[in-house]
Amino acid sequence: MIKAAVLGSPINHSLSPFIHNRAYEILGVEGNYERHEVTAESFDSFIELARNSDWTGFSLTMPLKEAPLKAGFDVDSRAQTIQSVNTLVRTGDSFRALSTDVLAFDRILQNISYHRVAIIGGGGTARAALGALDGTVDQVTMLQRGSNRNSQLVAAVSQSEIVFADLSTPLSDFDLVISATPAGASDSLASSIAGHAGTLIESLYKPWPTVLASAWEQRGGHVIHGLDLLVEQALDQIHLFANTGFDYTSMRSQLLAEVTKQIQ
């Protein structure tokens, strides 16, 4: 039986339990997926108890995406490079750490044409996007309020050049923008969008639409919803936790349709 949960703080808003439990129903496997309030300070003690129990795995959200890097787990090479983990999967009496965020961006980016790219933010989701973009473009512009994450962002790529810019940079300079910030943090950038035919990937799904997403669509651009990213990264977790194969296209379509109804 699958026993899994999403960990983070705050966590009451998370749609992951709905997505995972519905997926187990669709697959016809026995499982239960919960949510647990776990802070960065309580992570180690929670995991120590989990090592000696029957947990299958965990999804990690803020503020825990860097915590596993110091916990002595076997860390996947891509997660190590981007210094961000969103998934723990049971291996013996411990867990393997990886990023299904970067795998989700891999697939999403396959369906987008882009040349000039900007990422707003510098946290785990932003670094996962960088990991997926690395080598697909010559340069990625990082739009941030401060420089405290610069060294991590540079280390997240080996082929693409990172350029740092402040939040006054016009978004109309780019044909792909990835917003990986907390709610409200990118609102002020909406005014820098002129007529646009490019793509915005908005990592948020609540509130929706964000100010940035609304402005982007009003100016003719294409927006990829935060729910798309949420479901996309969950597909790999479902596969890992259930330890079974399934058709991603069919599962993605069904889960997206059902989770969309949950927030309407």
- Looking at the fold, whether 149 and 182 belong to one and the same domain comes out as yes
**Domain span holding position 74:** 2-98+228-263
- Looking at the fold, whether 78 and 169 belong to one and the same domain comes out as no
In the structure, what pLDDT confidence band is assigned to residue 193 with cuts at 50, 70 and 90?
A: confident
Q: What is the pLDDT of residue 252?
A: 98
19-42 confidence digits (pLDDT tens): 999 999 999 999 999 999 999 999
- Looking at the fold, whether 220 and 235 belong to one and the same domain comes out as no
Q: What is the pLDDT of residue 264?
A: 73
CATH number of the domain enclosing 201: 3.40.50.720
Peptide bond just before 209 cis, omega within 30 deg: yes
- Looking at the fold, whether 59 and 154 belong to one and the same domain comes out as no
Q: What is the pLDDT of residue 173?
A: 87
Q: Which of 52-61, 82-91, 107-116, 168-177 is predicted with the least confidence, judged by mean pLDDT? A: 168-177
Other beta carbons less than 10 A from residue 187's beta carbon: 14
State both tokens at 248: 């991603």
Contact 1, 240 (CB under 8 A): no
217-226 confidence digits (pLDDT tens): 999 999 999 9
- Looking at the fold, whether 203 and 249 belong to one and the same domain comes out as no
Q: Closest by alpha carbon to 180, among 129, 105, 236?
A: 129
Contact 58, 4 (CB under 8 A): yes
In the structure, what pLDDT confidence band is assigned to residue 105 with cuts at 50, 70 and 90?
A: very high
State mean pLDDT over 1-10.
97
One-letter-per-residue 3-state SS of the chain: CEEEEEEECCCCCCCHHHHHHHHHHHHCCCEEEEEEECCCCCHHHHHHHHHCCCCCEEEECCCCCCHHHHCCCEECHHHHHHCCCCEEEEECCEEEEECHHHHHHHHHHCCCCCCCEEEECCCHHHHHHHHHHECCECEEEEECCCCCCHHHHHHCCCCCEEEEECCCCCHHHCCEEEECCCCCCCHHHHHHCCCCCCEEEECCCCCCCCHHHHHHHHCCCEEECHHHHHHHHHHHHHHHHHCCCCCHHHHHHHHHHHHHHHHC
In the structure, what pLDDT confidence band is assigned to residue 194 with cuts at 50, 70 and 90?
A: confident
- Looking at the fold, whether 15 and 126 belong to one and the same domain comes out as no
145-163 confidence digits (pLDDT tens): 878 889 999 999 999 999 9
- Looking at the fold, whether 196 and 158 belong to one and the same domain comes out as yes
- Looking at the fold, whether 84 and 119 belong to one and the same domain comes out as no
- Looking at the fold, whether 171 and 218 belong to one and the same domain comes out as yes
In the structure, what pLDDT confidence band is assigned to residue 191 with cuts at 50, 70 and 90?
A: confident
- Looking at the fold, whether 167 and 137 belong to one and the same domain comes out as yes
Amino acid in position 142: M
Give percent of the chain with pLDDT exceeding 70. Answer: 100
- Looking at the fold, whether 214 and 253 belong to one and the same domain comes out as no
- Looking at the fold, whether 140 and 157 belong to one and the same domain comes out as yes
6-21 confidence digits (pLDDT tens): 999 999 999 999 999 9
Count of domains for the chain? 2
The residue that leads in pLDDT, 172 or 248, is 248
Mean pLDDT, rounded, of the chain: 95
CATH number of the domain enclosing 68: 3.40.50.10860
State mean pLDDT over 216-245.
96
